[in-house]
Amino acid sequence: MTLGQSPIDIDPELSIRVQALSRQSRHLGNAWDGEQVQALYDESEQLAERAQAGGLVDLSEALLGLAAYLSSFVDSSMRPNDDQLSQLAALADASADALARYLAHIEIAPLGAIANEAPLLQATVHYLGRNMAHLELLRIRCGMLGYMVFSSDSVREIDKSMAAGAVLALVISADMLAAWLTEHRADEAGSAAARVPITVLSDDDVLDVRLAAMRGGAEIVFVLPEDAERVAPRLAGLIADRSEPYRVLIVDDDNSMRLFCASVLRHNNLDAQAFATPEEALQALHNFTPDVILADLYMPQISGFELLALFRAHPRTAFTPVVLLSGDSDMEKRFAALHIGGDDYLTKPIRPRHLVAAVTGRARRARWMRRELLAIR
């Protein structure tokens, strides 16, 4: 369950404990205490389990990210440096922010079922629109590939189906884009709804439709009738992409940061493999082809710039998006990273949601480009 999807109840004790955990974790740097680190790690794990059991997925994710980071300092005499303390504070704030968002979105549950609500027994392709020609095209073309099509002209009903995991792909009629943009309760990156592929059907190829489609999160605009034969195969490709977790290669010599990134991404259903050295990462490419690479900009013996050049020269990663991580906010270094082929640049401390958004966005784009190239061939 994610924010804005259905009514929630938050245990007052859980709320108080999360706030206390966040406050104490944020102030750990004032007087570093190994026993307190252990206690906070245990508390964050317990609260993450309670949040998950209560359907508070976003809060559970934030708490797990905090627990993963704290775990790297448990049973260690090492005191974190300033950058690591900033990362810890950011994770503590992320937990408090997730709780605050839930508290701000508590709603009253409806007393009965919504009129004309159709029970969905299996995941289907959903169509949001009133154009019967569009619907007939979808049912015929998708039916040939074994997909059922459910139709609705209610954005609220589509949102409920997405929250319930009953949507394989969403197709929006161009005349419903305005309603989608104003009524859709957008989910944060990483949620189940954010992983649903969205496309648009239009009878006219105009800039306004393409712009609205982009703003609505659509990946493809199909213009009829010329794209009629492409609709079902492309939907099948998008659905297949979502069924296979995005693969992420992480290279960072900082154990706590490496563990943090891997834990957050895995908890968001990504296949993350993490390595401490460039040599290990390059060796892993024999058996692992990533959709995205996360690489620290500053590592012993070899810099992130040099590693980026090695990835660009490797046949398996020549066109793989590379996101560089650094605690340095120097704009010149950022421009240099992008100039030599980096695709994004994240400054530490990194919030879990920002990390997930950067990775999934790049991975989705990379798979889309591969699919388009195959289609051209």
For the stretch 26-80, pLDDT in tens is 888 777 777 888 888 888 888 988 888 887 877 887 888 888 788 777 766 667 7
Q: How far apart are CA 13 and CA 35, in angstroms?
A: 23
- Summarised one tens digit per residue, pLDDT across range 361-376 is 888 888 877 766 665 5
Residues 6+ apart with CB under 8 A from 87: 69, 256, 257, 260, 348, 349, 350
Q: How far apart are CA 170 and CA 175, in angstroms?
A: 15
Q: Is CATH 3.40.50.620 what the domain over 124-243 is classified as, yes or no?
A: no
Predicted local distance difference test score (pLDDT) of residue 16: 86
Residues 6+ apart with CB under 8 A from 29: 80, 85, 88, 89
- Summarised one tens digit per residue, pLDDT across range 199-245 is 999 999 999 999 999 999 898 999 999 999 999 988 988 888 777 88
Percentage of the chain exceeding pLDDT 90: 27
Predicted local distance difference test score (pLDDT) of residue 121: 39
- Summarised one tens digit per residue, pLDDT across range 245-282 is 899 999 998 888 888 888 888 888 889 999 998 889 99
- Summarised one tens digit per residue, pLDDT across range 161-205 is 888 888 999 999 999 999 999 998 765 434 444 568 899 999 999
State yes or no: pLDDT of 145 exceeds 60. Answer: yes
Average pLDDT for 341-350: 78
Q: Per the CATH hierarchy, to which homologous superfamily does domain 247-376 belong?
A: Response regulator (3.40.50.2300)
Is 358 or 79 the better-scoring residue by pLDDT?
Answer: 358
Average pLDDT for 11-38: 83
Predicted local distance difference test score (pLDDT) of residue 241: 77
Predicted local distance difference test score (pLDDT) of residue 255: 82
| DSSP helix/strand/coil, 128 | strand
State yes or no: pLDDT of 109 exceeds 70. Answer: no
| Phi/psi of residue 101, nearest 5 degrees | -65, -40
Predicted local distance difference test score (pLDDT) of residue 372: 67
- Summarised one tens digit per residue, pLDDT across range 291-322 is 999 998 878 778 777 888 888 888 888 889 99
